Amino acid sequence: MADFDHRVELRAPDISPYRLGNTGVPYATTLDSGRAGPHLLITALVHGNELCGAIALDFLFRADLQPVRGKLTLAFANVAAYAQFDPQRPTTSRFVDEDMNRLWNADLLDGDRHSVELERARVLRPLVEQADVLLDIHSMQDRCTPLMLCGALDKGRRLARELGFPAHIVADSGHDAGQRLRDYAGFADPRSRKTALLIECGQHWERASARVAIESTVRLLHQLQMVGPQFAADRLSPDRSQMLIEVTDAVTVNSDRFRFTRTYRSLEVIPRAGTLIATDAGREIRTQYDNCVLIMPSRRLARGQTAVRLGHYHTPPAMADAAD
């Protein structure tokens, strides 16, 4: 199914009221409680056509949220791509020049290469470096149950468990094409106390993705004790059991002839080891173990990009509550 087969149920919010902000960085606002506590950064629109994060930040602004401890920074990331969002052609505004979520390493940010996304990443970088905790809000090409991407380290896993939402956690280390914001510097350093989560809230334009995005922000604010109990109590669904998927491989496209053997759904489980799932010129991509889970098979099969991630459930789903 092509992207354009998905209905655009969400409306892109007007973010122009947030352009000025108060941080010196356009489209970034810090709400400072004046009390000690963590600095939480919530980012939306790292991909310009992923509306749910913008809706969640707009919700927090409209709720007139004031943290009761620490600092909360709300940032709209790829505003240039978002400005090009067109519900008639919703796939075209993911980025302007390049994927903003593959640029997050110091060499690239310190380097002299130029693109719309690199310039914006350089402007956002000081805010990212100040943050103790990051929640980066995304959505997916296809309809799929929401996924919390907690990174490869225990600290991300722990925070995802503490949130108790959504039901699926994916432990992974990213893409060959470049480092994600959630893996930048201290977030991916086991010696650092900084922690980051990336949530994939659902299909880019489905209504439910906005609810998931909002709930993820409220839960994290609640978990960090940055909001009063009533703010969260009024807005949360009951906790649910969670399952953790351990990613073992990210399959990267090496040729112009990458083909999946059929259309796969995200979180589809392939029962038998050795099953051929894709070919890439002469290369065969087969599952390496039984009950291999396919995570977000992509339709952007360009050379150098991730085609799919492969993983396995950390514990049998029925026992997921009993183990970490």
Tokens found for residue 69: 């401890």
Rank residues 39 and 182 by Cβ distance to Zn ion and give the closer one: 182
Selected from 39, 71, 120, 138, the binder of Zn ion by CB under 5 A is 138
Please answer whether residues 210 and 217 qualify as being in contact, where contact means their C-beta atoms are separated by less than 8 angstroms. Answer: no
Tokens of 271: 């029962």
* Nearest distance, CB of residue 216 and Zn ion, angstroms: 14
| Binding of Zn ion by 47 (CB under 5 A) | yes
Q: Which range, of 22-30, 36-44, 138-146, 300-308, touches Zn ion by CB under 5 A?
A: 138-146
Tokens encoding 126: 């000081």
Instruction: Say whether 250 sits in a helix, a strand or coil.
Output: strand
- Which region among 10-18, 134-142, 215-223, 308-316 touches Zn ion (by CB under 5 A)? 134-142
Window 159 to 218, contacts with Zn ion (CB under 5 A): none
Residues binding Zn ion: what is the number (CB under 5 A)?
Answer: 3
* Shortest distance in whole angstroms from residue 100 CB to Zn ion: 9
> Residue 239 has which token pair?
């906790």
Q: Which is nearer to Zn ion, 196 or 270 (CB)?
A: 196
Tell me whether residue 149 or residue 253 sits nearer to Zn ion (CB atom).
149
Residues in the chain: 324
Tokens standing for 274?
A: 């050795």
Shortest Å, Cβ 138 to Zn ion: 3
Which parts of the chain are beta strand (E)? 28-32, 39-44, 71-76, 133-140, 147-149, 168-171, 195-203, 243-252, 258-260, 268-270, 276-280, 283-286, 292-295, 306-313
Closest CB to Zn ion among 120 and 138? 138
| Helix (H/G/I), strand (E/B), else coil: 303 | coil
In this chain, which stretch among 24-32, 42-50, 207-215, 277-285 interacts with Zn ion, using CB under 5 A?
42-50
Residues that bind Zn ion in the complex, under the rule CB under 5 A: 47, 50, 138
